[in-house]
């Protein structure tokens, strides 16, 4: 397992705590930045991590900003990325178990470090269930990415 991680200025302190945790666990991680709390745009950081995960260079990505919302929105624009903004432990487990998410987004201004680290642990250690219904739903997401509609994707067409 390998992890790509990045943050904007608002998520920088949380990113540093997560990097320390990953090191303690012996999990290889690459820090894509930022390197301090000076104001930066989050989109380029989300893009770098999402593209690296989508390309298969890293197993998972972790993105931190103030709320996790902006990072998730940006990362989900990259084909092959299923980024989830998680604010509780249950949702974090379910996003892996049912949705096979590959990027975890966390909000440094809405989560405590202890909670965030428990979410990271859950995300990295919860396997995808592989159940047919979940696999089918993930395929439907991929179909949306590929702009297939109607009968080709098994979804009803809307008029």
pTM for this prediction: 0.91
Average pLDDT, the chain: 94
The tens digit of pLDDT for each residue in 49-59 reads 999 999 999 99
Give the pLDDT band (50/70/90) at residue 152. Answer: very low
pLDDT of 148 over the 50 cut:
no
CA distance 88 to 125: 16
CA distance 70 to 57: 23
- Annotated catalytic residue: which of 9, 64, 65, 105? 65
CA distance 79 to 55: 10
Residue 105 falls in the annotated catalytic set:
no
Q: Residue 15 has which token pair?
A: 């990113």
Domain boundaries, the chain: 3-128, 130-159
What is the C-alpha radius of gyration for the chain, rounded to an integer number of angstroms?
16
The reported pLDDT for the residue numbered 35 is 97
For tokens 């989109």, the residue is: 43
The tens digit of pLDDT for each residue in 100-140 reads 999 999 999 999 999 999 999 999 999 999 999 999 999 99
Give the pLDDT band (50/70/90) at residue 155. Answer: low
Q: What is the CATH number of domain 3-128?
A: 3.40.1400.10
- Annotated catalytic residue: which of 9, 64, 86, 98? 98
């Amino acid at each position: 397992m390998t992890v790509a991680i990045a943050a904007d200025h608002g998520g920088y302190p949380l990113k540093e705590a997560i990097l320390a945790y990953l090191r303690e666990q012996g999990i290889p991680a690459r820090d894509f930045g930022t390197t301090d709390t000076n104001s930066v745009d989050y989109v380029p950081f989300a893009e770098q991590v999402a593209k690296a995960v989508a390309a298969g260079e890293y197993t998972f990505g972790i993105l931190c900003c103030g709320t996790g919302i902006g990072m998730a929105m940006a990362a989900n624009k990259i084909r092959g990325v299923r980024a989830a903004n998680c604010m509780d432990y249950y949702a974090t487990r379910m996003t892996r178990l049912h949705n096979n998410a590959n990027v975890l987004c966390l909000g440094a201004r809405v989560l405590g470090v202890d909670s965030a680290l428990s979410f990271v642990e859950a995300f990295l250690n919860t396997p995808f269930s592989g159940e047919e219904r979940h696999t089918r739903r993930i395929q439907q997401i991929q179909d949306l990415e590929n702009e297939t509609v109607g009968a080709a994707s098994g979804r009803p067409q809307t008029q």
